[in-house]
Chain A
């Protein structure tokens, strides 16, 4: 099942907000929220790549970049 790893929402922006509004704001929705009970025989990374990614299965891999690269938008 394919799904997006990031969701967005628009907080209310007041004309009196002191900091520059971040809009939309984002949050992370990684693959374990969607996979269900893991089916057998899913494709695997080879052991070295698995180590560097932190999981043996591409279906469970979630990329994370520093906030700012991850989609929050400053208006």
Chain B
């Protein structure tokens, strides 16, 4: 059995960038759930959604799919079940 490799520092850096953008999106999403008329907040939401997709594309190229069930592409062989899982890193 081969040991799973340790993730490089770039993994943590890029992941944290994604976590930051996605967190702002969670905040704006909950805010918009009670403020559906806030035009500027919706614009910011859409801008950050674009930003998030861009960062994830870059992340997935280096570290494999972030999502399953057809939300991310896979290389050969099947990458989804590669370690590490989020609780392991």
* Direct A–B contact present (CB less than 8 angstroms): yes
Most chain B beta-carbon contacts within 10 A, residue among A38, A55, A56, A57 = A56
| Chain B interface residue bracket vs A | 10 to 19
Docked Cα-Cα span, A26 to B69, in Å, equals 50
B3-11, B19-27, B79-87: which lies at the A interface? B19-27
- Given A40-B40, A40-B41, A41-B40, also A47-B28 (CB < 8 A): no
Contact A50 B27 (CB under 8 A): yes
- Given A50-B27, A55-B27, A56-B28, also A40-B20 (CB < 8 A): no
Docked Cα-Cα span, A19 to B31, in Å, equals 46
Contact A47 B40 (CB under 8 A): no
**Closest residue of B by beta carbon distance from A49:** B20
Contact A50 B35 (CB under 8 A): no
Would you list the 4 A-B pairs with minimal beta carbon distance, nearest first?
A56-B27, A47-B20, A51-B20, A47-B24
